[in-house]
Amino acid sequence: MPSINNYTFSEPVFNIPEESNIVTLVGATAVITITPNTGFTATAGDFSATSFNATYISNVAFTQSGNNVLCTMTLINTTTMPSSNLTLGLCVSGSAVEKLITIGGKYSAIVGSNVTGDSSETNVVYSASGAISTVSSLFTKTYNAATGYFWSGSSIPSINIVKGNQKHYSIVQTPTFDASNRLTNIAYAVSYQFPDKDVSGDEIFINVPSTQEIYVPTSKITGYLFNTSVIGNPAEIRKLTILGNPGTVFGATLNDGAITTVIINNQSLDANGRFEQDISFPILVKGDPNVTYQIELTGANVSTLALPNPFTVLQLNEVTISIKDLFPPTPLAGWTDLNTTIPALNPTPFAEGYTDPLGNEPVNGGIWTMYFDYNLTAINGSNLTLIRQIDPSADFVDLNGNVMITEDTPIETKANGTQSSNVLNVDNTTGIIAGDSVALQSNLAPYVTTVSSVDSLTQITLASSVSVVDDQNIQFYRDGGNKLEIFNSLCTQVDAQTINVRFGVGVDRSGIESKVFYLKLNNIIS
């Protein structure tokens, strides 16, 4: 069977004696069957006869017969068979075309709130047709998060083939993200590759959850971190840390009592809500007065700041830390006058790295250090006996008998209830006396206030009001903010009448007032 133009066709053959009437033996018509090749279809309307042997054929017609096309030739009934073979030529225009496969289904979409673009739909029909293995677009859907919203976490849009052969479908998902990598738009393009047979009844489901609002923090400064303890001399650099909502704009000024300087100008908090700035405090000229610096955060976004603003820090030019005598001129109650020769002491500050007479290096890190080395002899020639070595936590006292080297072991109690007053209820007042400095957070001066009176075992009155929460630690100091330590102390029995006393004093931090203290000799010498 010959093949042409994507189809094959039959060739009818008749045996007719010569000189016989053709129509009488064959019939009025002869039929050629056109059969499309696999994957193609033939349609009668696509065919026509452009020429034929008009001596024997009067008409040619094309009709559909299922998948085939019948080409029917009407023969002229007066024709007779010649003495030789007769071939009736027929020229036909037309061809079979590729067979179109159909796909039919429906999709549904559930769309949540704050989503624009395509909306919720139920059982929307889709269909397409195409040749085997070709791809056709079925539909596209686009969903946008409303302005100021986005999808996040597990609540993001999805699309699924719930019925049908997934391998024939192609879904291109195109998401769009904002500058903060938040999903704000998504589009789906669904296409289909045709198999070798028609398909119907497929189902697709689209789920677009509700979006959530993008959090846009208000511009706000919520706090700051800064060491407001007393600054010594020489110069010092301290770090100011500003806290608040990311992007908040603010400024800051520094006033030294005479001039106001802008130290931060229209800065913004970083993505973590933080900004740090070093502030330099210069060295003071000896003899000049102390300086109180005032730091103020500025701008419209600091109005709700709960901390003091402005706040101050004091720089002291000079604080005297000295041992006036090794024993006070007038013995205190409970002291024994050893009647010893007491040299007048005029201690000299030494720079860091100074080596004392014992060959030891003093404690590093202090503002300054000084060293004492004295032989003590009884005036009346009596013998002196070394009882023990110096105990810094008990033997250095002021004129009131208060132990001076106590920075590591302050008197401490707890607030009994949340309060904001100058009269505080506490767990216990044992050891607290009038004049004690009060610290709530830091053991460094300046302290928040002082004790005016101890009213009972559970109540104290302060010079000014403070705010505390239940069980908050409250510490009490008598060192004026001066942080001292004794190092390399050594007492030696030189002979029966002489004892050598040596010790170094390190001033780790100077406070807000000068201090004089004494070595209680009767604790170490008999």
CATH of residue 285: 2.60.40
Q: What are phi and psi of 386, to 5 degrees?
A: -80, 115
141-155, 238-252, 346-360: which has the minimum mean pLDDT?
346-360
With cut-offs at 50, 70 and 90, classify the pLDDT of residue 189: very high
What's the burial of 506, exposed, middle or buried (CB within 10 Å: 0-12/13-18/19+)? buried
Would you state the structure tokens that stand for residue 245, as one six-digit string?
A: 């909502």
Nearest partner of 348 among 323, 365, 370, judged by Cα: 370
CB atoms under 10 Å from CB of 78, counted, come to 9
Distance CA(241)–CA(260), nearest Å, equals 20
CA distances 339 to 332, 521, 524, Å, are 14, 11, 14
Q: Binning pLDDT at 50, 70 and 90, where does residue 314 land?
A: confident
Same domain for 78 and 197, yes or no, is no
407, pLDDT greater than 80: no
Asked which of 213, 230, 261 is the last residue of a domain, the reply is 213
Percentage of residues in the chain with pLDDT exceeding 70?
A: 82
Q: What is the C-alpha separation between 439 and 196, in angstroms, rounded?
A: 88
The answer to whether residues 397 and 470 belong to one domain is no
Residue 252: phi and psi, rounded to 5, are -160, 150
Do 385 and 502 sit in the same domain of this protein? yes
Beta-carbon neighbour count of residue 177 at 10 Å?
11
**Looking at the structure, do residues 271 and 361 belong to the same domain, yes or no?**
no
Q: Are residues 308 and 446 in the same domain?
A: no
> Are residues 40 and 98 in contact, defined by beta-carbon separation less than 8 angstroms?
yes
pLDDT mean across residues, the chain: 84
Whether pLDDT at 370 is above 70: no
Mean pLDDT for the stretch of residues 261-273: 92
Number of H helices, E strands in the chain: 2, 38
Q: Which residues have C-beta within 8 Å of that of residue 461, sequence separation ≥ 6?
A: 422, 423, 424, 451, 452, 453, 455
pLDDT tens track for 198-233 = 999 999 999 999 999 998 878 899 999 998 887 766
Same domain, 304 and 231: yes
| The total number of residues written for the chain in this structure | 526
Q: Express each pLDDT in 104-115 by its tens digit.
A: 999 999 999 999
HEC-encoded secondary structure of 257-295: CCCEEEEEEEEECCCCCEEEEEEEECCCCCCCCCEEEEE
Evaluate if residue 68 carries a pLDDT over 70. yes
| Domain endpoint, select from 213, 242, 272 | 213
Question: Which residues contact residue 306 at a Cβ distance below 8 angstroms, ignoring those fewer than 6 apart?
Answer: 222, 223
The residue type found at 148 is G
Q: What is the pLDDT of residue 404?
A: 67
Domain co-membership, 208 together with 225: no
Is 367 in contact with 351 (CB distance < 8 Å)?
no
Average pLDDT over residues 155-184: 95
Between CA 506 and CA 486 the distance in angstroms is 6
Tokens at 257, concatenated: 């009592």
Pick the more confident residue, 384 or 26: 26
Enclosing domain of residue 94: 3-98
444 plus 382 within the same structural domain: no
223-227, 312-316, 466-470, range with the lowest pLDDT: 312-316
**Looking only at Cα atoms, what is the longest distance across the chain?**
180
Residue 68 three-state SS: strand
Q: What is the model's pLDDT at position 167? A: 95
Q: By mean pLDDT, which of 230-244, 358-372, 400-414, 506-520 is the weakest? A: 358-372
Residues whose CB is less than 8 angstroms from the CB of residue 18 and which lie 6 or more positions away in sequence, other chains included: 81, 82, 83
**Owner of token pair 């100058």:** 422
Same domain, residue pair 369 and 486: yes
pLDDT tens by residue, 70-104: 999 999 999 999 989 999 889 999 998 888 899 99
Number of folded domains that form the chain? 5
Which SS3 state, helix, strand or coil, does residue 335 take?
A: coil
Q: Is 506 helix (H, G, I), strand (E, B) or coil?
A: strand
Question: What pLDDT is recorded for position 501?
Answer: 82
Name, in order, each residue with C-beta under 8 angstroms of 222's C-beta and a sequence gap of 6 or more.
Answer: 243, 244, 245, 273, 304, 305, 306
Those residues with Cβ within 8 angstroms of residue 97's Cβ, 6 or more apart along the chain or in another chain = 6, 40, 41, 43, 46
What pLDDT sits at residue 69? Answer: 95
* Higher pLDDT pick, 245 / 487: 245
Contact indicator for 207, 110 with CB cutoff of 8 Å:
yes
Of 213, 239, 265, the one marking the end of a domain is: 213
Question: pLDDT value at position 110?
Answer: 97
Q: Comparing C-alpha atoms, which of 186, 309, 192 is closest to residue 244?
A: 309
Strands across the sheet with 396-397, in order?
321-323, 515-519, 396-397
If one compares 6 and 426, the residue with the highest pLDDT of the two is: 426
In contact, 424 and 414? CB cutoff 8 Å: no
How far is 39 from 196, CA to CA, in rounded Å? 8
Asked if residue 43 and residue 108 are part of one domain, the reply reads no
Q: What is the pLDDT of residue 267?
A: 93
Helix (H, G, I), strand (E, B) or coil at 353: coil
User: pLDDT tens across 443-456, in order?
Assistant: 666 788 899 999 99
* pLDDT tops 70 at residue 65: yes
Rounded to whole angstroms, the Cα distance separating 121 from 208 reads 11
Residues 368 and 491 both lie in one domain: yes
C-alpha to C-alpha distance for 460 and 482, rounded to whole angstroms: 24
Higher pLDDT among residues 217 and 237, named by residue: 237
- Residue type at 130 in one-letter notation: G
Q: From the centroid of its chain, how far is CA 319?
A: 46
Q: How confident is the model at residue 368 (pLDDT cuts 50, 70, 90)?
A: low
CA distance 280 to 91: 105
With CA atoms as reference, report the closest residue to 72 among 60, 64, 88, 58.
60
505 has a pLDDT exceeding 50: yes
Are 38 and 110 part of one and the same domain? Answer: no
Sequence letter at residue 117 = G
Q: Which residues contact 15 (CB under 8 A, 6 or more apart)?
A: none
d(CA 164, CA 231): 79
Q: Which long-range contacts (CB under 8 A, 24 or more apart) does 176-182 make?
A: 178/150, 182/150, 182/151, 182/152, 182/214
Cα distance between residue 442 and residue 511, in whole Å: 13
What's the pLDDT score for residue 409? 66
